[in-house]
């Protein structure tokens, strides 16, 4: 069985190691000449899906922008997830879920169960109730060869106060999260595969955690509008470049609403990370 890590690396070889976001926030809807309505949300999303499917390694819809419209917004997201996956394009639902016990299991089934209308290829999760709290979603990911991207070292300034704290062994909290993810991937590494568990590491960070032992995909937000460059990505992923997937959203989305221009932008951006 191919793991999610295997499938994502293969997609990166075909299309370039780019993750592009679908972020229909109000300012972009307005820029595209669309209303802040379900109809505007659907038009925005359909244009992105048409431009991105088959042209990019990974697509990352931001769940919050759909959730804001209630059940109608989730219906639009369900349509997008299904169309992207039917086209063979990998999708990570940027939901950043985190809880314990049966609630975490509920999130796992919502985003990774093949029978769920919201099923994606991967989902983002928060480990800050303890890495062990992620057990239900990690187990389902292993069972279904799905991906889990664990927030490790995020780029927001407030995160440093928490994530840079060090334990008795001298490792930062961010490094502890990366090491826990590496342990989850260890058996796959022994078997010659990349693992299902990835991490999120901000591309703008000056002192990121060490990633050489992760053996799983690395999602790197912050490229483009937030200031990070291809050189930053190469520095952070030295030795594991094939596993690094920079996330570019605003720089591509502002090329809309024309599908042709969006497609051109995503193909050009992907070529920068081959």
Residues contacting 184, CB < 8 A, separation 6+:
138, 195, 196, 197, 216
* 199 within 8 A of 177, measured Cβ to Cβ: yes
Quote the CA–CA distance of 33 and 105 in Å, as a whole number. 40
Distance, CA of 35 to CA of 42 (rounded, Å): 10
Q: Cα–Cα–Cα angle for 15, 63, 79, nearest 5°?
A: 70
Determine the Cα–Cα distance for residues 119 and 112; give it in Å rounded to an integer: 5
The DSSP bridge pattern shows strands 147-153 and 90-97 to be: unpaired
Judge whether 96 counts as a catalytic residue: yes
Q: Indicate left, alpha or beta for 124 from its phi (over 0: left) and psi (-120 to 50: alpha).
A: beta
Residue 43's Cβ-side half-sphere holds a number of Cα atoms within 13 Å equal to: 16
CA dihedral sign, ordered 238, 242, 244, 248: positive
Copy the structure tokens of residue 237.
Answer: 């992923």
Other residues' Cβ atoms within 10 Å of the Cβ of residue 135 = 16
List 2, 53, 60, 96, catalytic entry: 96
Active-site annotation, residues: 96
């Amino acid at each position: 069985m191919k793991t999610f890590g295997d499938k994502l690396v293969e997609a990166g070889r075909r299309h370039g190691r780019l993750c592009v976001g679908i972020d229909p926030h109000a300012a972009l809807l307005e820029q595209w000449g669309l209303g802040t309505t379900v109809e505007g949300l659907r038009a925005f999303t359909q244009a992105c899906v048409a431009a991105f499917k088959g042209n990019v390694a990974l697509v990352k819809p931001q769940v919050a922008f759909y959730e804001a419209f209630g059940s109608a917004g989730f219906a639009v997201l369900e349509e997008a997830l299904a169309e992207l996956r039917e086209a063979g394009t990998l999708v990570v639902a940027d939901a950043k879920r985190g809880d314990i016990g049966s609630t975490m299991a509920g999130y796992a089934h919502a985003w990774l169960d093949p029978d769920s209308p919201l099923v994606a290829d991967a989902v983002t999760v928060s480990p800050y109730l303890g890495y062990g709290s992620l057990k239900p979603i990690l187990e389902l990911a292993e069972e279904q060869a799905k991906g889990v991207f664990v927030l490790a070292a995020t780029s927001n300034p407030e995160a440093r106060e928490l994530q840079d704290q060090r334990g008795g062994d001298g490792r930062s909290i961010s490094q502890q999260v990366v090491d826990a993810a590496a342990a989850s991937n260890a058996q796959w590494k022994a078997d010659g595969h990349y693992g299902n568990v990835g991490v999120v590491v901000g591309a703008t960070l000056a002192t990121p955690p060490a990633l050489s032992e992760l053996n799983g995909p690395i999602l790197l937000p912050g490229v483009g509008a937030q200031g990070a460059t291809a050189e930053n990505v190469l520095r952070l992923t030295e030795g594991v470049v094939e596993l690094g997937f920079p996330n570019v959203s605003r720089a591509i989305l502002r090329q809309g609403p024309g599908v042709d221009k969006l497609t051109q932008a995503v193909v050009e951006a992907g070529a920068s990370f081959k």
